[in-house]
Amino acid sequence: MTELMLVVGTRPEIIKMAPIIRELQKRGLYFTFIQTGQHHDYNLSKHFIKELRLPEPKYSFKLNNSETVAQMSEIMIKLKEVIKKEKTKLLLIEGDTNSVVTAALTGLKMGVKIGHVEAGLRSYDWRMPEEHNRIIVDHISDLLFAPTDRARENLERENVHGRIYVTGNTVIDAVIQHMPLAEESSKILNKIRFCEYILMTAHRAENVDDPNVLKNFVEVCIHSPLPIVFPIHPRTAKRLKEYGLYNILKRCGNVQLLPPVGYLDFLMLMKHCKLILSDSGGLQEEATAPCIKKKVLVLRLSTERPEAIEKGFAKLVGVEKDIILQSIKEEMNSSDPLNHETPFGDGNASRRIINIIEQYVRSK
């Protein structure tokens, strides 16, 4: 029986929960670690946990469904049984995925208190499934760990019922903790054929499921003034092949396609690139870490990380080819250094979060 339960479903959640898990271990605090299996490659997620030298989850769900609603229902049923067995009192979740909202709803209906790490992010873009999830989770959580003052203000404006704490974002803790491990073990740079390169990622449904947007991205890769290193997400690879674009990219000498890479390899690619093109939310945060400090051109129309833009670490460039290419040229010609400190914390978010949880548990 352990009253504290940590639930993760995707690799970004594992990354951001890793510093919290280490903090709990350092203090000798017991917890139940659960992997929901939301990412389709179950074994890859298990390998990812091992790569970060985290403890094996006590429970790992193998899901039979890939369709969203069916998958969420399956997670809910399996999680309900574990909560009952472990007599869980506090459920700690991170982010805005389907696993997160499913775990929160399950805990709510079973009378379990909910702690939400990375609470209060808002894009105000209802096309994003993550926006639905994060709003739901914030309004049913009891402890809301906001990474920034902006996130706190969002929560206060919405009059959420839970207690709000500004802690910083554990993603900065994660980058700081894992960079030495990446430098020690990663060999990815030996595989890169360019001396200087732009690192690119794209995976969001509103981008890669739209053939016109995806064609724009391919054109950007072909005409970029600096070579592109592009680790391809499985969803993106599938769509590129469906739309007849994959072989165009593969044959382009200006582009190096990579299969999905591990977190440690990705840290090294970020550290050594000249610029980042991405539609990822978490990457906008990671790029601001002291040991990376790279500019991100955000391939989206909105972002839930406006702090990165305000500090000069990111720029919204949308999805139109000409605007993206012009933005790349401007950044390549810019001499403005990224001297600002990251707006997402000082690397001690996990310590603050566990301090708050310990105090909360004692008060109860």
* Tokens at 352, concatenated: 């603050």
- The pair of structure tokens assigned to 333 is 């010609």
3-state secondary structure of 306: helix
Which residue, chain included where needed, has tokens 């709000």? 164
- Measure the CA–CA gap between 74 and 70, rounded to whole angstroms: 6
Rounded to whole angstroms, the Cα distance separating 54 from 19 reads: 10
* CA 339 remoteness from chain centre: 24
Catalytic, 132? Answer: no
Separation between Cα atoms, residue 188 and residue 166, nearest integer Å: 36
Catalytic residue chosen out of the listed positions 39, 139, 161, 203? 203
Cα distance between residue 71 and residue 203, in whole Å: 20
Locate 322 and state its tokens.
């000409």
Number of neighbours of residue 47 by Cβ within 10 angstroms = 12
Angle at 355 between CA 353 and CA 358, to 5 degrees: 110
C-alpha closest to that of 280 among 248, 314, 246, 257:
314
| Sign of the torsion angle spanned by Cα atoms 127, 258, 191, 55 | positive
- Residue for token pair 């582009």: 255
Both tokens assigned to 290: 């002291």
Task: Just list the catalytic residues.
Answer: 203
